[in-house]
Chain A
Amino acid sequence: MNLLPDLRIVLDELTERFGARIEHAHAPQPNELYLHTKLELVGALCSAFYKKYQGRLAGVFAEDARAERDVFFVYYLYALDAAHGFVFVRVPVPSDNPELPSLTNAIHAVNWQEREIQDLFGIKLLGHPNPRRCVLHDDWPEVYPLRKDFDLHTKLPPFTGARHRFREVEGEGVFQVPVGPVHAGIIEPGHFLFSVAGEPVLYLQLRMFYVHKGIEKLFESLPIPHCVRLAESISGDSSFAHATAFCHAIERVAEVEAPPRARALRTLCLELERLYNHVADIGAICTDVAFVTAHMHAMRLKEAVLRVNELLTGNRLLRGMPCLGGVRFDFEDDQMRAAAKLVDDFEKEFKDLVELIRSHSGTRDRLETTGVLKPEVTRNLGIVGIAGRASGFDHDLRRDFPHAFYDQVRFSVPIFTEGDVQRRMVVRREELFQSLGIIRQVLEKLPAGPIQTKIEEVPSDRVALGYVEGWRGEIFHWIHTAPGNRLARCKVKDPSLQNWPALSEAILGNIIPDFPVVNKSFNLSYSGTDR
Chain B
Amino acid sequence: MFEVIGKSLKTGVVTTSYPLTPAEVSRHTRGKPEIDWANWKDARPAARVCPTGAIEFTDEERKRIATLDLGKCIFCGLCADADPAIHMSNQCELATRERAGLKLSAKYQLTSDGMHERLLENPAAGSAGGQSLEAVGQQLQARIRSMLGRSLHIRQVDAGSCNGCEVEIVALNSPIYDIERFGIHFVASPRHADMLLVTGPVTLNMELALRKTYEAMPAPRLVVAVGACGCSGGIFGLNYATVGGVDSVVPVDVYIPGCPPNPHALLHGILLAVNRWRGT
Measured CB to CB, the residues of A under 8 A from B are 137, 140, 143, 145, 150-156, 159, 181-182, 184-189, 209-215, 217-218, 222, 225-226, 229-230, 233-237, 239, 280, 293, 296-297, 299-300, 302-303, 306-307, 310-317, 319-320, 335, 352, 355-356, 359-360, 525-527, 530
Contacts and interface: CB of A to CB of B under 8 A. Distances in A.
A214 B242 contact: yes
B25 interface: yes
B76 to A, nearest CB: 5
Interface in B126-174: 156-171, 173-174
A145 B240 contact: yes
Nearest to A214: B241
Contact of B241 (A145, A186, A352): A145
24 contacts: A145-B240, A152-B240, A154-B240, A182-B209, A186-B156, A189-B159, A189-B206, A210-B203, A211-B160, A214-B241, A215-B236, A230-B235, A233-B74, A233-B162, A233-B259, A237-B163, A293-B8, A296-B174, A300-B14, A300-B176, A310-B25, A315-B30, A526-B163, A527-B161
A525 B76 contact: no
Contacts of B259: 233, 319
A299 B171 contact: yes
Contacts, number: 187
A303 B176 contact: yes
Contacts of B169: 186
B231 to A, nearest CB: 14
A236 B165 contact: yes
Contacts of B14: 300
A215 B156 CA distance: 24
A152 B240 CA distance: 6
Interface in B14-56: 14, 24-26, 28-30, 49, 51-52
A317 B260 contact: yes
A222 B52 CA distance: 10
Contact of B206 (A153, A211, A222): A211
Given A236-B161, A293-B8, A527-B161, A211 B203 contact: yes
Interface string B222-239: 000000010000111011
Contacts of A156: 204, 240
Q: Considering residues B28, B156, B157, which has the most beta carbons from chain A within 10 angstroms of its beta carbon?
A: B28
Interface residues of B, number: 63
A225 B235 CA distance: 13
Contacts of B242: 213-214
B168 A314 contact: no
A211 B161 contact: yes
Contacts of A185: 188
Contact of B186 (A152, A186, A222): A186
Contacts of B235: 229-230, 233
A297 B11 contact: yes
Contacts of A218: 236, 239
Nearest to B210: A182
A236 B199 CA distance: 12
B206 A299 contact: no
Given A233-B162, A526-B163, A186 B170 contact: yes
A25 B232 CA distance: 46
